[in-house]
Amino acid sequence: MGFQFALSIALLAVPLSVGALPQAITTSVLAPSIPALPPGPDATSYPRDGKLHAPEPAPYTPAGGLGTNGSEPVYVVQSDFDFESIALALYQEWIELDLFHNGLARFTTAEFDAAGLNAEDRFLIEFMADQEVGHATLLTNILGPAAPVQCTYQYPFTTVREFLDFCQKLTRFGESGVYGFMNHLNSREAATLLLQSISTEARQQMIFRQFDGLFPMPVWFETGIPQSWGWTLLAPYIKSCPANQTRLAWQNFPALTVVNQPNPARANANLTGFNESISSIPGSASCNSSCGPAITHNRTIPLSYPGRQVYFSWENPGKGVGPNNSYTTSTTASAPAYVVWVSQLNATYSALTNISGNTGMTIQPNMSTFAGDPAVNGTMFVALTDANVTVTPFNLSMINPHVVAGPALYQAG
């Protein structure tokens, strides 16, 4: 259905109260949602002619910019938005630290060797875990004494290949989650440090794609998602946290599942069955050496394609999720009508059809970000909505009041 440029953040929809069930932290709420407003009066006033239009505050220093007046930088949060956003990022760093160590400890050297990863590859995973120590330390220092601490986690993998695939998916929404809020932080100083850490995580995500036998970077632009999207994807893997753990303000949407998720372990992912895991396919259907760990693979048969029938199932709101099931899924939307495909700079809608209870299907759309760049590619995001509202890379969170379920990751390429 309509093609719209899409992506990133502003303020989030207010969580819907569900009886006496546990909720995200909250305070007095001023409105049910953030109103959509026109651009500010000066949004297009600057003449883009390549000339200087104001006195320079110092030699070789054009006028303008934020945080450029010589004030000593202070690397702390400066608003509720800052604290809750960076606290979410810290939850993400903690699980990545645990996840990388968990995979290295769970599987034997022989199992890693059989999956195509040698001792040097395993050391790279260990080094990425060390990076997470630095990231967690950085964000803890920015947040102060109320910073969230590490929790205990539950993971869906039983083989090395499933571990690698889970890592590339988890780092995808971790990276995109920071892109979604970083440029909205009040603290420009904190945003600077956050950029320097998330740039490292982007490299981790690409490495895990390579370990997973996928093309390392099939997109021209990396997407950003709202905080509540990132928290919805992350929370189910947190089993428990200490009793005094700092809680988050973000919404948990009902879970969405891509029932026929393209399987990167298949030689022909178009034959992926319903609720299929990487390890459940017969050996004759596996891509084996043609999709093992490598610098790059260029598949003859793509994982997905425009016109593909994509099937979904989703949960009702009101389910306990997250640490000790202490958060509750919610939505303010009405009945599902659309699937929004969020990838690169795009948020494009397709009709949700064949709806029966909590199942439905759609057709994978055919669109490009720019000519020659198919927008539906890589490890991307889909969600169900009740309307096809127009959103852009700076205000994707305006879609939150319309999200029925999701997001889910879609392995488009």
- Distance in Å from the first CA to the final CA of the chain: 22
- The C-alpha atoms of residue 271 and residue 309 are separated, in whole angstroms, by 12
Supply the pTM of this predicted model.
0.92
Q: Which pLDDT score is estimated for 21?
A: 54
> pLDDT of 251-297, one tens digit each?
999 999 999 999 998 988 888 889 998 888 877 788 877 788 999 98
- The C-alpha atoms of residue 396 and residue 407 are separated, in whole angstroms, by 13
At 179, list the tokens: 């892109």
Q: Which pLDDT score is estimated for 16?
A: 38
Lookup result for tokens 């000790």: 324
> pLDDT of 311-369, one tens digit each?
999 999 999 999 999 999 999 999 999 999 999 999 999 999 999 999 999 999 999 99
pLDDT, average across residues 121-139: 98
Q: How many C-beta neighbours within 10 Å does residue 155 have?
A: 18
Q: Which pLDDT score is estimated for 22?
A: 63
pLDDT higher at 342 or 17: 342
Q: Dump the DSSP string for 233-302.
A: HHGGGEEE--TTPPP-----PPPEEETT---TTBSSGGG--TT--TTSS-GGGB-GGGGSS-S----SS-
Decide if pLDDT at 1 tops 60.
no
User: What percentage of the chain has pLDDT greater than the value 90?
Assistant: 83
> pLDDT of 31-87, one tens digit each?
888 988 999 999 999 999 999 999 999 999 999 999 999 999 999 999 999 999 999
Q: Which pLDDT score is estimated for 30?
A: 87
What is the strand order of the sheet 338-343 is part of? Answer: 3-5, 346-351, 338-343, 379-385, 403-411
Q: Are 326 and 23 in contact (CB under 8 A)?
A: no
Q: Which pLDDT score is estimated for 236?
A: 98
pLDDT, average across residues 1-5: 35
Q: By C-alpha distance, which of 189, 171, 177, 72 is closest to 131?
A: 171
Q: Which positions ≥6 away from 348 have C-beta within 8 Å?
A: 1, 2, 3, 4, 6, 340, 341, 365, 367, 375
